């Protein structure tokens, strides 16, 4: 029954040879990898206004334009930097591989940990924000906010477990429709403005206004930096593009940045003419209501597509996280199982892990976008910084054609993104950044322990070439000590002793007695077996069973 349900939900298994057909070109790669960045228009501007409006009132909308321009300028820097990363590292891995190879293992693991947290929060923030769009339009759904988020994550999981090709078909078209609908809204809004349309001013309490300080601007800027998450996903996914993969990946990266420039920048400008109160609902939904009318069909289309694109933004993480974690698994920093492809050739273990952690976050923070976004950007910007720093060191070390210009781009990118990390750490510390600051070192510690474990296992299992040539399987016997733990003398213990004799001549029976009587009984019965296998009985007054066995293995008596 389980297998039938599995086949119904995710489809029949695919052969390894089908992997080439699972790769995508520019047409399908753009919506899959850009949905996170493009969707930021639905909440990044709103989060900027949430900081500014209570402090400076209507002046917030002019500042929104300036702050959005600064964020777009940073996007341009990151685009130029990641184009160089794609050229230098066509096998993917992004910030993790760049930092590991050019700065060191700790830097690489730090970048991988930070980016993993960023992907997890992408799912939580995007879906929570998407549900917020629907709840803004249909307030009756407010009590079911968390439940809706969990259901959507489960559906996203199933969609991605069906494989890259299937998920591309399911999730790509709404992304194009969203961009098209926003462009129509911007054009319609500007036509109405040029025709003399003046919407009603929003009601803001004047008594709460404060001076516009640099701290306030920086806090709003860090909120808006959520718009830049998702840019790194293209560099992680280069191997998933059809040939020429490097060229296709760079094309997608440029198109992604262009769409964000138009959609995010255009929305920030139109908000000056159609000001909204971010506390009264989603910014895009309110602007669409003022431009088209709250009962207009296009208003509901914008609302539906805003919800859809925010949900689909999580799909960037569903693509980026499993790919990143598979590279780290291949390097031995996370369990190898995360590098295994599932029935539909997707990294199914990574997809399931991402969904499970995201659901925990959604429930813990009650699907509150503002609370989640406090954790959001710092992880991504740490990975940005380490990636750009790694590329900067690479150019300094290797030189080559135009290395000064390339190093300048990456060096400036590293400086700017590091400055953003500091600003986020300071302005968002009380809102939850401290959690990420604690979690990243914990993840680094665990990843290094996993690597240490794999190194130890490899040393134990490795056979040198000269040893391999000298081995004669037919003549050599198995000389390792075989320990047969027994509790009493019965049919199963006797069969275990017989089997042990077939694989080694060096066998010992080991019994842990939790009371003296049982130990004495085992000894008496064992004498009647007429075997040359020695019996060792250890008395355990504290009724421990495993510890005496381990102590025996580690003792000189074992030898």
Secondary structure of 220-266 in HEC code, one letter for each residue: HHHHHHHHHCCCCHHHHCHHHECCCHHHHHHHHHHHHHHHHHHHHHH
CA 4 to chain centre: 30
The tokens 């960045």 sit on which residue?
A: 37
Q: Residues 233, 235, 237, 243: is their CA dihedral positive or negative?
A: positive
Q: What is the pLDDT of residue 353?
A: 94
- For the stretch 193-222, pLDDT in tens is 888 877 766 666 555 566 777 878 888 887
pTM of the model: 0.74
Confidence of residue 476 (pLDDT cuts 50, 70, 90): low
Give the Cα separation of 553 and 480 in Å (integer): 13
Q: What is the pLDDT of residue 369?
A: 66
Encoding tokens for residue 101? Answer: 């190879």
**∠ Cα 455 457 461 (to 5°):** 115
What totals of helices (H) and strands (E) does the chain contain, helices first?
21, 3
Please give the average per-residue pLDDT across 336-353, as a whole number: 85
Query: Residue 432, by phi and psi: left (phi above 0), alpha (psi -120 to 50) or beta?
Result: left
Q: What is the pLDDT of residue 54?
A: 77
Q: What is the pLDDT of residue 393?
A: 93
Residue 82 burial by CB count (10 A; 0-12/13-18/19+): exposed, middle or buried? Answer: buried
Mean of pLDDT over the chain: 82
Please give the average per-residue pLDDT across 235-244, as a whole number: 81
Res. 452: pLDDT tops 90 = yes
Q: What is the pLDDT of residue 1?
A: 63
Is 539 in a helix, a strand, or coil?
strand
Res. 293: pLDDT tops 80 = yes
- For the stretch 113-162, pLDDT in tens is 988 888 888 888 878 877 876 787 677 888 888 899 999 899 888 888 87
Is 512 in a helix, a strand, or coil?
strand
Q: How many CB atoms lie within 10 A of CB 286?
A: 21
CA 132 to chain centre: 22
Contact between 126 and 319 (Cβ < 8 Å): no
Please give the average per-residue pLDDT across 491-501, as a whole number: 92
- For the stretch 346-365, pLDDT in tens is 788 999 999 999 999 888 88
Confidence of residue 108 (pLDDT cuts 50, 70, 90): very high
């Amino acid at each position: 029954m389980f297998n039938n349900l599995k086949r119904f939900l995710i489809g029949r298994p695919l052969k390894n040879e089908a992997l080439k057909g699972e790769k995508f070109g520019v047409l399908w790669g753009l919506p899959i990898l850009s949905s996170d960045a493009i969707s930021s228009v639905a909440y990044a501007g709103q989060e900027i206004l949430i900081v500014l409006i209570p402090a400076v009132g209507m002046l917030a909308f002019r500042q929104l334009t300036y702050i959005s321009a600064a964020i777009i300028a940073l996007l341009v820097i990151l685009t130029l930097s990641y184009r160089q990363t794609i050229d230098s590292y066509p096998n993917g891995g992004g910030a993790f591989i760049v930092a590991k190879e050019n700065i060191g293992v700790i830097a690489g693991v730090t970048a991988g940990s930070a980016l993993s947290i960023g992907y997890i929060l992408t799912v939580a923030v995007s879906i929570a924000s998407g549900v917020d769009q629907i709840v803004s339009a249909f307030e009756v759904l407010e009590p079911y906010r968390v439940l809706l988020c969990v259901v959507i994550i489960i559906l996203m999981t199933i969609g991605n477990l069906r494989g890259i090709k299937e998920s591309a078909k399911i999730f790509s078209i709404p992304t194009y429709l969203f961009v098209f609908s926003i462009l129509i809204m911007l054009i319609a809004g500007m036509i109405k403005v040029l025709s003399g349309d003046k919407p009603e001013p929003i009601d803001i309490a004047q008594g709460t206004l404060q001076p516009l300080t640099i701290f306030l601007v920086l806090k709003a800027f860090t909120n808006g930096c959520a718009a830049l998450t998702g840019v790194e996903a293209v560099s992680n996914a280069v191997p998933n593009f059809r040939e020429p993969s490097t060229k296709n990946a760079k094309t997608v990266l440029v198109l992604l940045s262009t769409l964000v420039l138009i959609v995010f920048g255009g929305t920030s400008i139109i908000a000056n003419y159609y000001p909204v109160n971010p506390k009264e609902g989603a910014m895009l939904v309110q602007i669409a209501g003022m431009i088209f009318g709250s009962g207009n069909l296009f208003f509901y289309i914008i609302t539906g597509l805003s919800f859809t694109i925010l949900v689909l933004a999580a799909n960037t993480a569903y693509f980026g996280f499993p790919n990143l974690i598979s590279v780290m698994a291949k390097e031995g920093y996370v369990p190898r199982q995360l590098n295994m492809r599932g029935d539909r050739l997707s990294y199914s273990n990574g997809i399931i892990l991402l969904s499970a952690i995201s659901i925990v976050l959604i429930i813990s923070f009650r699907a509150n976008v503002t609370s989640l976004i406090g954790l959001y950007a710092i992880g991504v910007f740490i990975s940005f910084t380490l990636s750009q720093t790694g590329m900067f060191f690479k150019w300094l070390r290797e030189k080559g054609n135009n290395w000064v210009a390339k190093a300048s781009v990456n060096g400036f990118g590293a400086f700017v993104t590091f400055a953003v990390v500091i600003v986020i750490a300071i302005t968002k510390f009380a809102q939850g950044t401290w959690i990420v600051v604690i979690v990243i070192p914990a993840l680094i510690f665990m990843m290094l322990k996993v690597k240490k474990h794999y190194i130890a296992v490899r040393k134990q299992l490795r056979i040198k070439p000269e040893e391999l040539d000298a081995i004669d399987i037919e003549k050599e016997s198995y000389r390792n000590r075989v320990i047969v733990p027994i509790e009493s003398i019965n049919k199963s213990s006797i069969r275990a002793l017989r089997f042990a004799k077939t694989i080694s001549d060096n066998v010992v029976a080991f019994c842990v007695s939790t009371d003296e009587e049982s130990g004495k009984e085992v000894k008496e019965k064992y004498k009647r077996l007429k075997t040359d296998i020695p019996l060792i009985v250890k008395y355990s007054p504290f009724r421990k069973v495993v510890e005496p066995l381990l102590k025996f293995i580690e003792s000189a008596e074992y030898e």
